[in-house]
Each structure stands twice: as C-alpha cells, then as structure tokens.
Amino acid sequence: MHCVFVQLRCQPGRTYQVADAIYERELVSELYSTSGEYDLLAKIYVPKEVDVGHYINERLLDIPGITRSLTTMTFKAF
C-alpha cells in the first residue's frame, strides 16, 4: 500500500458535509480538520497496483464542496 496525505480546501460552510461524505465512503485511515490554506487533511492508503492519481480523482475529488486538493506522496516511515 502507498500512504498518501491529501489536503482539501472546501467551499465556505461545507467542511463538515465534505468530511461526512468522506467517512461514508470508508476511504481514509485518518481525517483531520486543519487551520491554514486547507480545511481537511486525509491519510489514505492506496493499493500498490493502483494509479494514485486515478484513485484519488475517482474516489475522493468528486465529492461536492471540494474546491482544491494537494496530494503528498510518502516514501518511508522512520
């Protein structure tokens, strides 16, 4: 599995609705509300044989209320 972190910016007033929709899909390992440029931080494990970009786009970014995302790939846990 590839571990990726996805930061999400939501439309004003929609963060909790977006978070609920993400949890309904049972997609994330962890989901946090954050301060700053992005509203949510999701930790997602993507199967190794799957293209990360397609996985994120097809399973996460079609949720209404998401306006921007930033995906960070990880390589090694220390």
Q: Which residues contact 78 (CB under 8 A, 6 or more apart)?
A: none
| pLDDT (tens digit per residue) in 34-65 | 999 999 999 999 999 999 999 999 999 999 99
DSSP per-residue codes, 21-72: HHHHTT--SEEEE--SS-SEEEEEEE-TTS-HHHHHHHHTTTSTTEEEEEEE
Sheet of 66-73: strands edge to edge?
30-33, 40-46, 2-10, 66-73
Judge whether 78 lies within some domain.
Answer: no
Instruction: Evaluate if residue 76 carries a pLDDT over 90.
Output: no
Instruction: Evaluate if residue 10 carries a pLDDT over 90.
Output: yes
Q: What are the tokens at 68? A: 């921007």
Judge whether 65 lies within some domain.
Answer: yes
Domain that holds residue 64: 2-73
The pair phi, psi for residue 2, each rounded to 5°, is -95, 130
pTM of the model: 0.93
> Which CATH number characterizes residue 54's domain?
3.30.70.920
Judge whether 24 lies within some domain.
Answer: yes
Q: How much of the chain exceeds pLDDT 90, in percent?
A: 96
Judge whether 28 lies within some domain.
Answer: yes
Instruction: Evaluate if residue 12 carries a pLDDT over 90.
Output: yes
Instruction: Evaluate if residue 77 carries a pLDDT over 90.
Output: no
**Domains identified in the chain, total number:** 1
